[in-house]
Amino acid sequence: MKKILLADSDEANSAILELILNEFEYNVRRISSIQNCAEELASAHYDLLLFGLESNQEEGFRIIEDIRQKPEIADINLIFIIPNTEKIDVANAYRLGALDFIKRHSVPEVVLEKVRDAVAVTGKDTILVVDDEPMNLFLFTNLLGIRYNIITAGSGREALDILERESVDLLLLDLHMPDIDGFDVMRRLSAIPECDNLPIIVVTADSDFDTEAEIFQAGARDYISKPLVMQVAIQRIRRIIELSHLQKSLEDEVRKKSRELMLANTRLRQLSDQTIFALSCAIDAKDSYTNGHSRRVAMYAREISRRLGKSQEEQLDIYNVALLHDVGKIAIPESIIEKPGKLTNEEFEIIKSHTTRGYEILKTISVMPSLYIGALWHHERYDGRGYPHGKAGEDIPEIARIICVADCYDAMSSDRSYRGALPQAVVRSEIEKGMGTQFDPRFARIMLTMIDEDKDYRMRGKNSTDINRMTEIKDQ
């Protein structure tokens, strides 16, 4: 909870202020004697001083001047509470580091807005003032010194040197200078990456429209006219710095949200990958003799697609589609799937229906419409004599053609209920024979290369899963 010291001899007004601020969860300590202000500030930590100026402004200014001399409390954020009727010395108040002014008997909304802005001020912003006229440098330093860290430069060259090595929150830039003028400084700033979003306010005696346009075109956020009207200058400087902070915090927020979104996306992707994997385990568990089949087919299909030059993303999609290519077998009775002997025609028709049943299961997943492609068409043949639709050649989606080769390879190179794994040479010649008839020759050729590289015939299923087999082969 932010702590505010409210020092004002107008007790009626400060009682109302205290009420308003307490209502909005500020912790307010109220004193009626402004003379005790420094002592009170030194006794506890405060985030803001609301200081009442009397008709005798001089005394109030003197007290604040004293506070600014005491290092332990000199940095206190300050708002002056001012009389409604009398004019106050605004320039002097700003010189003393006033953030703002609240008129007595202001409406609560105004009070709250100003207090909220003032307590949000943390640390001092740094302003680099560039002017070849020493009087202007002195004026700005004197006026802004309490609220901001002021660095001065007497020339454009000196300013660029400072900007190369120091972090600055605002650049106050004179336009007409002998060596490098203000426009030149702005142009050269583009070569300093740290100054990418540095807000610039130009200070100039030129008031013609062309110069105005040129100033904004050069990248300045605002300009201040000479001769200087200090109240206007200070308000503009403050506004630009606040806007710059706002922009920075917005950028931080966008970065934070993007990171969160990316993490959420990764989690979703993991969830879908793991769900698909779990489902493939359920499929494989149906038949103890083909245990691990879906995973091996998925690995072979991914390896073929890797060798085709597909992106990581595409390889992962193909892997997932292949994992579910036999999902329809969930709907086929185990007595048929695990039958050791020859199948009757009727049983074979039932087995064949795992393609369309797989499609029925997966078509409902609308966010990944390609999921069903592998399940529905992995038994199509390149020559059009496959099932369920007798599609041929390029009419069969590419993923299904890749899975078809991988699927047949695994069927031949794995132990089955009715036979052991076929010898590698037999598997190789079957794949070769099927080029252009059963298989797309392009993908069959890649499979043959993979077989040829697999000298010890490690790429096979021995009634057990061997998930790292492909990685081992790739590493050889």
Token readout for 381 is 């043949």
Which of 182, 386 has the CB closer to Fe ion?
Answer: 386
Q: How far is the CB of 464 from Fe ion (least distance, A)?
A: 20
Which of 284, 326 has the CB closer to Fe ion?
Answer: 326
Which of 326, 410 has the CB closer to Fe ion?
Answer: 326
Q: How far is the CB of 246 from Fe ion (least distance, A)?
A: 60
Q: Which stretch binds Fe ion (CB under 5 A): 10-18, 90-98, 137-145, 320-328?
A: 320-328
Q: Which stretch binds Fe ion (CB under 5 A): 50-58, 306-314, 323-331, 448-456?
A: 323-331
Which of 174, 326 has the CB closer to Fe ion?
Answer: 326
Touching Fe ion, residues 100-119 (CB under 5 A): none
Which of 146, 337 has the CB closer to Fe ion?
Answer: 337
Q: How far is the CB of 333 from Fe ion (least distance, A)?
A: 16
Which of 125, 326 has the CB closer to Fe ion?
Answer: 326
Q: How far is the CB of 451 from Fe ion (least distance, A)?
A: 21
Touching Fe ion, residues 235-254 (CB under 5 A): none
Q: How far is the CB of 330 from Fe ion (least distance, A)?
A: 12
Q: How far is the CB of 304 from Fe ion (least distance, A)?
A: 17
**Pattern 274-313, Fe ion, x by CB under 5 A:** ----------------------------------------
**Pattern 384-423, Fe ion, x by CB under 5 A:** ----------------------------------------
Residue nearest to Fe ion (CB): 326
Q: How far is the CB of 373 from Fe ion (least distance, A)?
A: 13
Return d(Cα 338, Cα 19) in angstroms, integer. Answer: 82
Which of 214, 360 has the CB closer to Fe ion?
Answer: 360
Would you count residue 380 as binding Fe ion (CB under 5 A)? no
Which of 52, 328 has the CB closer to Fe ion?
Answer: 328
User: What residue type is assigned to position 94 of the chain?
Assistant: Y
> Are 439 and 431 spatial neighbours (Cβ–Cβ below 8 Å)?
yes
- Which residue in 47, 169, 317, 326 binds Fe ion (CB under 5 A)? 326
Q: How far is the CB of 362 from Fe ion (least distance, A)?
A: 14
Query: Site size for Fe ion, by CB under 5 A?
Result: 1
Q: Which stretch binds Fe ion (CB under 5 A): 1-9, 283-291, 307-315, 318-326?
A: 318-326
Q: How far is the CB of 297 from Fe ion (least distance, A)?
A: 9
Return d(Cα 389, Cα 381) in angstroms, integer. Answer: 10
Which of 131, 326 has the CB closer to Fe ion?
Answer: 326
Q: How far is the CB of 295 from Fe ion (least distance, A)?
A: 14
Residue 237 main-chain phi, psi, to 5 deg: -60, -45
SS (H, E, C) the chain: CCEEEEECCCHHHHHHHHHHHHHCCCEEEEECCHHHHHHHHHHCCCCEEEEECCCCHHHHHHHHHHHHHCCCCCCCCEEEEECCCCCCCHHHHHHCCEEEEEECCCCHHHHHHHHHHHHCCCCCCEEEEECCCHHHHHHHHHHHCCCCEEEEECCHHHHHHHHHHCCCCEEEEECCCCCCCHHHHHHHHCCCHHHCCCCEEEEECCCCHHHHHHHHHCCCCEEEECCCCHHHHHHHHHHHHHHHHHHHHHHHHHHHHHHHHHHHHHHHHHHHHHHHHHHHHHHHHCCHHHCCHHHHHHHHHHHHHHHCCCCHHHHHHHHHHHHCCCHHHHHCCHHHHCCCCCCCHHHHHHHHCHHHHHHHHHCCCCCCCCHHHHHHHCCCCCCCCCCCCCCCHHHCCHHHHHHHHHHHHHHHHECCCCCCCCCHHHHHHHHHHCECCCECHHHHHHHHHHHHHCCCCCCCECCCCCCCHHHHHHHC
Q: How far is the CB of 347 from Fe ion (least distance, A)?
A: 15
Which of 216, 348 has the CB closer to Fe ion?
Answer: 348
Angle between helices 398-413 and 441-453 (to 10 degrees): 40
Which of 283, 444 has the CB closer to Fe ion?
Answer: 283
Q: Which stretch binds Fe ion (CB under 5 A): 6-14, 199-207, 257-265, 325-333?
A: 325-333
Angle between helices 424-433 and 441-453 (to 10 degrees): 160
Q: Which stretch binds Fe ion (CB under 5 A): 41-49, 135-143, 322-330, 434-442?
A: 322-330
Residues of this chain that bind Fe ion (CB under 5 A): 326
